[in-house]
Structure 1
Amino acid sequence: MAGEEALPVIDEDVLVLTAKGKAELCAPGTSLSAAELEVLVLADDRGSVAAVVNSAVCLEAEAAREALRKLLTAGHLESAADRYKISVVDARDFFKGGTGNASRAGNHLALARRAATPKREAGRKVHVLTVASAPEFVKLLRSYFTLEGFVSRAAGSGAELVSELHQPPVPDVVLLGAALPDVDGLKVLAKMRSHPVLKDVPVIVLAPDAARDRLLKALQSDVQGYFTEPFEVDNLLLAVKTVLGLTGTGAGAELTVDWGDDRSVPGAR
């Protein structure tokens, strides 16, 4: 639009559709140019600017970037880092590259933010449900949570999770492995978010790595935390407290750490 300052487009940035962008794709007619419409469709699936530009077979690279710039300036697209408040590492470093694992060597993600409306009956203990397929890891976490005064519950697969969720009360927070033996953990997360009883349950995802696609899918499902291997138990405990707004973490506490010592626990998915 005239008078609007064009926003920068950087290859490593990851752009996501806004409500305006999604509405444009669903509308019976469009005011966008063919180039803008093509890259908007690609941005809905590809993620990074570089991936969109490389996939735009009918456009020269600079034309694709210019179309992205116009869509970003007009509000059809926005930065994933801005929307989801990714502050673990610099977004340009984190999302570098077109496909595959986005983590830098030696970098691990540990994100946690307070749930919007934590709900728990007065006097009832916190129920923490850990869903992971590594028995030793689950046993260790359960010990920590029990010592903290929580009721620690566990499931080793998607089927066991379904059974556990039928047992009252609904857990106060779920630590959900992204790679379960019988189901994709993010598919479980999507089903939880569409369930009338489970949609607001805080979820912390436990992922094997910092792959961009998995992280973005989790963020789009409104997770309250995201951790990658190797996992440090102390930080997972702090994450649960942060998510639930428990005493000592502060209302706006956010966990952003980078670690690699021998207290970490690999292979928890």
Structure 2
Amino acid sequence: MHDNDVYTLTARGQEELRSGATTLGPSEIELLVRIDGSLTLKQLRAGMAVEAEGIFTAAVMRLLDKGMLTLATVDPFTEQFNASMNQFVVNEAEADTGAASLKKAGYFVRIARPRSQTPPRQPGTPLSAIVVDDEPMLAKFIQSYLSFEGFQVRLASNRAEVVAEFRKLPVPDLILLDVVLPDADGFDILLRLRQHPALKNVPVIMLTGKATREAVLKGLAGGADGYVTKPFEADALMHVVRTVLGMGEPKGPGLSLL
């Protein structure tokens, strides 16, 4: 591997980010999200956190071994130009280039990791979920689908409703959290959840219709257990839910949330 090498995701790598379940570690997931087929390894490394630099090469090697990355095809002129420019570019500029790539909208991902610790629940009691979304039709549809799967579902669409629902018992087994709300930020809510004594271990799946790589990384770094971009199919969302909660296969065919 060389600093000027540019990698892109293979079909297997794309599937890992969109299948609804993964066993990859945090550094490998971050790399899969960051790689866009145009950034060099030097630019990717410069954009990652300082504490991640020491494991950067190992993470790239693991993804290559798993067949999730491949060298991107770069025309000779661009390759030579990049190599020449890199002789004069400092790390700050490399990081800025990586940051600009992360802000591009239209990113699509559907990923989740099993939750290692969940709130205790009495045997025989139904699963409970809180759906935080300001799109009434979508929220109702998710509520119906989760109810079909045995969940007791509560809805919240703004800051006041979120606070009210989070104060109620029982403590939810799952929270589906929209990123963009009319008077609240989903990332801020996630941060407060992870700091709350009673709610810090509740699994959270982030939902958004305006995804960027930066937003996905922010959600996962903030403690989200899954991240799903809209539009999505209901059975795909339920696959993410089941992955996070360690549940079995769906009971029947899914419906489309389009």
Residues 147 and 153 in structure 2, CA contact (< 8 A), matched pair in contact too? yes
Q: 2-side partners of 1:115 and 1:49: how far apart?
A: 25
Match of 2:111? 111
Match of 1:16? none
Structure 1 ranges of 4+ moved more than 3 A: 6-13, 47-50, 74-83, 89-93
Match of 1:179? 180
Q: 1-side partners of 2:103 and 2:257: how far apart?
A: 24
Shift of 1:238: 2.2
Q: Tell me the SS of whatever aligns to 1:169.
A: coil
The structure-2 alpha-carbon separation of the partners of 1:148 and 1:157, relative to structure 1 and needing over 3 Å to count, comes to: same
The one-character-per-residue Cα deviations of 1:202-221 (angstroms, maximum 9, x if unpaired) are: 00000123302211111111
Give, as a single letter, the amino acid of the residue that structure 2 aligns with 1:100: K
The structure-2 alpha-carbon separation of the partners of 1:141 and 1:12, relative to structure 1 and needing over 3 Å to count, comes to: same
The structure-2 alpha-carbon separation of the partners of 1:8 and 1:232, relative to structure 1 and needing over 3 Å to count, comes to: same
Unmatched runs of 5 consecutive residues or more in structure 2: 9-32, 73-97
Q: 2-side partners of 1:92 and 1:172: how far apart?
A: 42
Match of 2:22? none
Q: 2-side partners of 1:80 and 1:132: how far apart?
A: 39
Residues matched between the structures, number: 196
Q: 2-side partners of 1:179 and 1:81: how far apart?
A: 35
The structure-2 alpha-carbon separation of the partners of 1:98 and 1:135, relative to structure 1 and needing over 3 Å to count, comes to: same
Match of 2:257? 264
Q: 2-side partners of 1:169 and 1:91: how far apart?
A: 47
Match of 2:101? 98
Give, as a single letter, the amino acid of the residue that structure 1 aligns with 2:109: L
Q: Does 2:152 align with 1:151? A: yes
The one-character-per-residue Cα deviations of 1:89-111 (angstroms, maximum 9, x if unpaired) are: 86999x8962522546xxx3111
**TM-score, with length taken from structure 2:** 0.62
Shift of 1:263: 2.3
Q: Which one has a larger percent helix, Structure 1 or Structure 2?
A: 2
Match of 2:245? 244
Give me the identity figure in percent. 31
Unmatched runs of 5 consecutive residues or more in structure 1: 1-5, 14-46, 54-60, 250-261
Residues 190 and 223 in structure 2, CA contact (< 8 A), matched pair in contact too? no
Match of 1:17? none
Q: 2-side partners of 1:162 and 1:244: how far apart?
A: 24
Q: Tell me the SS of whatever aligns to 2:164.
A: helix
Q: Tell me the SS of whatever aligns to 2:184.
A: coil
Q: Tell me the SS of whatever aligns to 1:248.
A: coil
Residues 175 and 204 in structure 2, CA contact (< 8 A), matched pair in contact too? yes
Match of 1:139? 140
Shift of 1:198: 1.2
Q: Tell me the SS of whatever aligns to 1:175.
A: strand
